[in-house]
Structure 1
Amino acid sequence: MPGTPTLESRLVVRERPARAHVMHQRWEQLLFLHWRWDAAEIQQTLPPGLFVDTFQGEAWLAIVPFLMRGIRPRFYPPVPGISNFLELNVRTYVHDAQGRPGVWFYSLDCNQPLAVWTARAFFHLPYQHARMQAAMSDNEIDYTCHRRGEAHEARFRYRITAESHPAQPGSLEFFLAERYLLFSQSPRGIRCGQVHHTPYPLADVKLETWNLEPLLQAGFADPQRPPDHIIGSPGVDVRVYPLTA
């Protein structure tokens, strides 16, 4: 497959870019639910120029709900009522012909209209308007997402344990979590965006409730099994960089 990523190329994208970033974000209470998936099926959903990324021959689909905090442009402070919101994405893992590994998003639900507009307009990402809540009690998160125009709500109840660890390079956890590039389809073709943060502190998750609705909305069939891999993270501070070719 053209440009299949090496471990070196996966490590290189973790380095902080020399160019200026455009935005600060904090991602908190991330839940990563992953299913093994047929690589050929995933490939059929990708635009020309992108290729399914696999770990030991297997492709993966994920549902990732989390909290966005302190979102702000560079040089500006957070704005009450705008800078904190929720996001839930459905994603898979890809690379381009240059061997750059990244994420392809099928959808990104969000409960902040300005964030939806900004991401669609400037990053060409498939953001969706949704009603969302994340009630927290005794470190347990009760997370709900109801996308505009859809009949059913998705719900996730989970607790991220206190002890955390970084992913070991070359491991499945590293393949799934350590992603610093995203690809999007723009009128000018495939574009690449980059983020920078310290490696995720990963932690076990006590998962009480989970839902397949986001996968079904993305057009995938019910896998008829629980997630094949579950991991969480308390969060990271993130710098966001502008799109490039």
Structure 2
Amino acid sequence: MEGFRSEAVIDRVAPTIRPDRRVIMYQNWHHLLFLHWRVAPEQLRPLIPAGLDVDLYDGWAYVGLTPFTMTGVHPVGVPAFPPVSNFHETNVRTYVHRGGRDPGVWFFSLDASSALAVLGARTAFGLPYHLARIRFVVEREAETGLGPTIDYALERRQPGPTPATCAIRYAPRSPVGPARVGTREFFLVERYLLYTVWAGRLYLSRIHHPPWPLQDAEVSRLDETLLAAARIARPDAPPLAHYAREQRVEVFASERVS
């Protein structure tokens, strides 16, 4: 079927190798929740730009919702500035590739709590950022030692006419371990390439970090309209849920690919 390709032919390990390129930015990510729903690829195809294919695992596409917090975001050679460098974010995503190569991420939306960060990302990278009011509370560690409970609430403020909210309460519930190559978890979280469209052209950006220190997560509350705002019908089945405490990330210069 046009627009889809067997996942068996795609090299998913090569993007995990640190590229020999110029680093342009550093970021720290904390208390990430990876929620994923399995969806029919036909539902996403109209939402993906020309030049990209919906990436599949066992014949299914996946939509992800990821809340987290960022600190220490700064370009190389410029010190971190808290109003821009520290903020909370939630993104809605799926996974794509280009004709069987370069498997990466396509963002439907990104909501962040910093107006300056939103303006910078929209202007410099063409990313669909929205300004949001976000409450992010890290509660004390559980007696199990597996990690804290996170209480997260979001209300989109601007731009755009489509309102969106999100309220999630989550906590890790298993020991830490990396995702194994070939598993669904690896397919979902070990993503190091990002696609954007800017001035009608397709661009590819790269990041690098160690493998995710992944844990299974328990979600005790989930009320959100972010997927609906992105014109995605959320499945009735509960999502897959994974947690990662933190990650240090290098961001590399973008390249035009079409």
Question: More deviation in 193-202 or 113-122?
Answer: 113-122
Residue 63 of structure 1 is matched in structure 2 by: 65
Gaps of 5+ in 2: 141-147
Distance 2:6 2:59 in 1: 12
Match of 1:47 among 39, 46, 49: 49
Residue 188 of structure 2 is matched in structure 1 by: 176
Does the Cα contact within 8 Å between 1:129 and 1:147 map onto a contact in 2? yes
- Distance in 2, Cα, partners of 1:222 & 1:100: 27
CA distance, structure 1, for counterparts of residue 122 and residue 220 of structure 2: 33
> For structure 1, which runs of at least 5 residues remain unmatched after alignment?
none
Question: Which residue of 127, 145, 148 corresponds with 2:157?
Answer: 148
The answer to whether residue 239 in structure 2 is matched with residue 239 in structure 1 is: no
Q: Distance in 2 between matches of 1:167 and 1:152?
A: 31
Q: Give the Cα–Cα distance (whole angstroms) in 2 for the partners of residues 7 and 167 of structure 1.
A: 20
Residue identity opposite 1:238 in structure 2: V
| Residue from 72, 76, 79 that aligns with 2:78 | 76
Distance 1:5 1:27 in 2: 28
In the TM superposition, what is the alpha-carbon distance from 1:225 to its structure 2 partner? 3.0
State TM-score, norm by structure 2.
0.89
Identity of aligned residues (%): 37
TM-score after normalising by structure 1: 0.93
Cα pair distance change 1:158/1:190, threshold 3 Å: same
CA distance in 2, matches of 1:56, 1:2: 12
Deviation of residue 151 (structure 1)?
5.0
When residues 190 and 3 of structure 1 are mapped into structure 2, their CA distance, relative to the original with a 3 A threshold, is farther
The code of the aligned residue for 1:132 comes to I
Task: Number of aligned residue pairs: give it.
Answer: 244
In the TM superposition, structure 1's runs of 4+ consecutive aligned residues that sit over 4 Å from their partners are: 1-8, 149-152
Counterparts in 2 of 1:28 and 1:169: CA distance versus 1, 3 Å: same
Deviation at 1:8, TM superposition (A): 6.7
Q: Helix, strand or coil: the match of 2:117? A: helix
Q: Report if the CA contact (8 A) 1:5-1:99 is conserved.
A: no
